[in-house]
Chains A and B, each alone.
Chain A
Amino acid sequence: KQEVTQIPAALSVPEGENLVLNCSFTDSAIYNLQWFRQDPGKGLTSLLLIQSSQREQTSGRLNASLDKSSGRSTLYIAASQPGDSATYLCAVSTGGNEKLTFGTGTRLTIIP
């Protein structure tokens, strides 16, 4: 059974710092990996999707990497801003997107 772990559960950093969020998974036979953002009381917003054949994806200040063989992904956020405060979730699919396995998330707080 696929298990996804995100450590730490919570992280606070001063504004302007670069930071890395971690995601690990137990079964390397994944279809893709997605990073989501969730604001309190809201739904999930997709940030980046990395297909199994890719090593990384970039969108603005965000960069996500994937190392399938070691079962790890990282989400790098450059020049953090208070608006980046949210919970970040990673999810993997071993088939299509109809079945995602989620980590429990990292709650990020950016201190002005």
Chain B
Amino acid sequence: NAGVTQTPKFQVLKTGQSMTLQCAQDMNHEYMSWYRQDPGMGLRLIHYSVGAGITDQGEVPNGYNVSRSTTEDFPLRLLSAAPSQTSVYFCASSYQRTGHEAFFGQGTRLTVV
């Protein structure tokens, strides 16, 4: 199993540019989520999805869009990149049933200049 795959691993953007961070999982998990990790602040939830066609906002959703057209994929779109969005982004997935752990991708390190 590939688990949770994120692409790209590294990206540099100029302020105002847009881009999509890709996330795919091959475990047939219902739940998928996006987090950002900043020094001293831990991981914070951006958006999440409980199934195909269903998404909702997390703690820090401003400046980001998501969609979930399939169970496997959950892309995160930056609409107009800002330096404050410089961070490491992690995608996670898990089963809906209780007692199952969350699986994380290897992360995308994004720098906005």
Number of residues of chain A lying within 8 A (CB) of chain B: 25
Q: In the complex the two chains form, is B42's CB within 8 Å of A97's CB?
A: no
Q: In the complex the two chains form, is A97's CB within 8 Å of B94's CB?
A: yes
Which of A31, A41, A45, A96 has the most chain B CB atoms inside 10 A of its CB? A96
CB distance from A50 to the nearest CB of B (A): 10
Q: How many A-B residue pairs have CB under 8 A?
A: 73
Q: In the complex the two chains form, is A99's CB within 8 Å of B103's CB?
A: no
With A96-B50, A96-B96 in contact, is A104–B101 under 8 Å at CB?
A: no
Q: In the complex the two chains form, is B42's CB within 8 Å of A98's CB?
A: no
Partner among B4, B58, B90 whose Cβ is within 8 Å of the Cβ of A99: B58
Q: In the complex the two chains form, is A32's CB within 8 Å of B42's CB?
A: no
In the complex, B41 has a CB within 8 A of chain A: yes
- A contact residues around B96 at 8 Å (CB): 96
Of B11-19, B77-85, B104-112, the stretch lying at the interface with chain A is B104-112
Q: In the complex the two chains form, is A46's CB within 8 Å of B102's CB?
A: yes
In the complex, A71 has a CB within 8 A of chain B: no
- B contact residues around A7 at 8 Å (CB): none
Not counting A44-B104, A49-B101, A100-B35, a sample of 15 additional A-B residue pairs whose C-beta atoms are within 8 angstroms of each other reads A4-B42, A32-B99, A34-B102, A42-B107, A43-B107, A44-B92, A46-B103, A96-B31, A96-B94, A97-B92, A97-B101, A99-B58, A100-B43, A100-B102, A102-B42
Going nearest first, the 9 A-B pairs with the smallest beta carbon separation are A97-B94, A98-B31, A46-B101, A44-B104, A104-B42, A102-B43, A102-B42, A43-B106, A98-B48
A-B contact pairs, 16 of them (CB 8 A): A4-B42, A32-B98, A34-B101, A42-B106, A42-B107, A43-B4, A44-B90, A46-B103, A46-B104, A49-B99, A51-B99, A91-B102, A96-B50, A102-B35, A102-B43, A102-B44
